[in-house]
Structure 1
């Protein structure tokens, strides 16, 4: 039995009601806890991308898979590659946490570690450059290219359907707001487009990281991993979003710690950022709000949940309880910031690799 042959093994994570008063008291929102599904959130996209490549003949039997990752996709790919007999090489960077490195090794992956960020494209571009060198040396290897692969987003149709079913079982006929963190654009696009087919008027809020280039800001150094990007992923559907929020690390840390204390469903940077905006949206709108918690807390025990680590970075100081407002996505967003006019950044090109 494999992940591909038995798709019910992927997904089926719980949908829970969250009342943690972050960033301020609210009536509650629904969160899909993806860390409790087999392989996590990105096992869905990994399964979809590898199945699509095998179906098209792009990935031969037993061929090597090579991908760049900050960690989470690597876990999903490791589950799928191991089950199907594909050797897996993951290009990571030196900021990847030692426990995550150990886990990826245990799952059978080979790690290529990049030691320095690219001068303008950061760790992401540096990893992509290394990936291209590996591909040039291994002609039969396959690169899923999570940033621009439509199968990435397609893998999240099941997640959207699970949200619909879970809400119905909770007595909710439709949500007013979907809050999604945005990185490669995979789960935000896959879930967002599917839910908008069902509920055309649903409000979709994108959650990015301060210092990310996805929605038109200049790329700068980011403490937060797992959301945001220094490049422009082709999977991101800018026209789908009604508004975007850039969340800072202080807000994400506060949310993760508050969730752990009061709700027991917590996670890392993307979860903390999504929880911050979902709580804000639940306070602002009277109708149901739903979000996705992409990861769990395990890999963040030496960062988000480490007092000394956070204190040296000023992350234990009081966070904002509401966003700064800007009219144009190109206006400065150096703290938690909201923009209600979303356009694709100018001069978006394909990834430079």
Structure 2
């Protein structure tokens, strides 16, 4: 019989002095060849804000729930995570005085498990993916079990919570202050929070802004079939409601080999780098800066490289998964429709579909 998890922190231990540490992150000018020369693009370095990019969403979701009375002072917070939001919730839990229980899976890196526990989070790990929906569906099923045995616990539901999106208004404001003009925004897409949160605000400032979504091969978000994915932090086997499909002008699917190559190039010559999402958006941003002559391009690097030392930056890991022998694309393969072909490497599509809406007989 499964017993209720022990919460490591007593409720009510709020440390609101942490809240000013969120955001206010710098922009870096990136000119690294990725893999070809390009004029450069801007990257928002969210690794330099406390808790990384997802701390913005985590604090927004918990504060929103408290305002509505859904989260009582000191009550536990339970959420599913592949790692990055977990760090943000650990930060928000300390800042606002809530114990945090995170449901992950056995593919969560050992270093990330140690880090989350060190920050006071309780971890529950599922050991096999669901037949439909993969690891995400398996985590959510376990999450519901955990909720049932912790009285008063709150589930933020990052995939469908509008406060996730609202948390990125501060980042949009910062970009408006840091940039005189912006033509193209490149966003990785997972829960859909930061792409939806940025696009709406920034288009009010720059109405002609072009938005490019960057997804993982094997992700179902934009109408491709769901497959097992090596990349974590972007992509999804389910269809989060927070993904605002209508804001995207096009979507690119990027494979793990291209992401690894981009990350390592960044680390060698720009010093700033990150993980799967960072490599994917850097590749597409460099391409956009190259093909859209004179365009001002910006993207977000969600976190730094430390979590990925055993994967993206590990030669043995890359060799085991065939990433060091993969033939890398220098430009995307273009397909006319998400169902025209399955993306197995860097692929571009200018037809953007909302799969749930299409199921109901409509498109987005």
Q: TM range, normalised to the smaller chain?
A: over 0.9
Match of 2:146 among 134, 137, 158: 134
Q: What are the residue-to-residue correspondences of 1:199-238 with 2, within 5 Å?
A: 199-238=206-245
Take 1:4 and 1:204, find their aligned partners in 2: how far apart are those partners? 35
Matched with 1:296 is 304
Deviation at 1:261, TM superposition (A): 0.2
Per the alignment, in what secondary structure is the counterpart of residue 233 of structure 1? Answer: coil
Deviation at 1:330, TM superposition (A): 1.8
Q: What are the superposed Cα offsets for residues 119-165 of structure 1, whole Å, 9 maximum, x if unpaired?
A: 12110100000001111222410000000000000000110111111
CA contact (8 A) 2:289 2:297 kept: yes
Normalising by structure 1, we get a TM-score of: 0.95
Matched with 2:313 is 305
Q: What are the superposed Cα offsets for residues 39-96 of structure 1, whole Å, 9 maximum, x if unpaired?
A: 1000000010000001110000111100000001111111111222211100000000
CA contact (8 A) 2:189 2:214 kept: yes
CA contact (8 A) 1:3 1:80 kept: no
Deviation at 1:3, TM superposition (A): 6.9
Normalising by structure 2, we get a TM-score of: 0.92
CA contact (8 A) 1:232 1:348 kept: no
Take 2:152 and 2:18, find their aligned partners in 1: how far apart are those partners? 27
Q: What are the superposed Cα offsets for residues 14-36 of structure 1, whole Å, 9 maximum, x if unpaired?
A: 10100001031100000001011
Q: What are the superposed Cα offsets for residues 149-207 of structure 1, whole Å, 9 maximum, x if unpaired?
A: 0000000011011111112xxxxx21110000000000011011111111110000000
Task: Say whether 1:183 aligns with 2:195.
Answer: no
Q: What are the residue-to-residue correspondences of 1:326-337 with 2, within 5 Å?
A: 326-331=335-340, 332-337=342-347
Matched with 1:48 is 60
Take 2:358 and 2:136, find their aligned partners in 1: how far apart are those partners? 16
Identify unmatched segments of 5+ residues in structure 2.
Answer: 1-12
Take 2:201 and 2:353, find their aligned partners in 1: how far apart are those partners? 21
Question: Number of residue pairs matched?
Answer: 345
Q: What are the residue-to-residue correspondences of 1:79-228 with 2, within 5 Å?
A: 79-167=91-179, 173-228=180-235
Matched with 1:282 is 289
Matched with 1:170 is none
Take 1:160 and 1:347, find their aligned partners in 2: how far apart are those partners? 27
Take 1:3 and 1:162, find their aligned partners in 2: how far apart are those partners? 24
Per the alignment, in what secondary structure is the counterpart of residue 355 of structure 2? Answer: coil
Change (3 A) 1:203 1:4: farther
CA contact (8 A) 1:174 1:199 kept: yes
Q: What are the residue-to-residue correspondences of 1:252-263 with 2, within 5 Å?
A: 252-263=259-270
Per the alignment, in what secondary structure is the counterpart of residue 237 of structure 2? Answer: coil
CA contact (8 A) 2:239 2:356 kept: no
Matched with 1:12 is 24
Per the alignment, in what secondary structure is the counterpart of residue 222 of structure 2? Answer: coil
Take 2:19 and 2:204, find their aligned partners in 1: how far apart are those partners? 23
Change (3 A) 1:70 1:84: same
Change (3 A) 1:230 1:4: farther
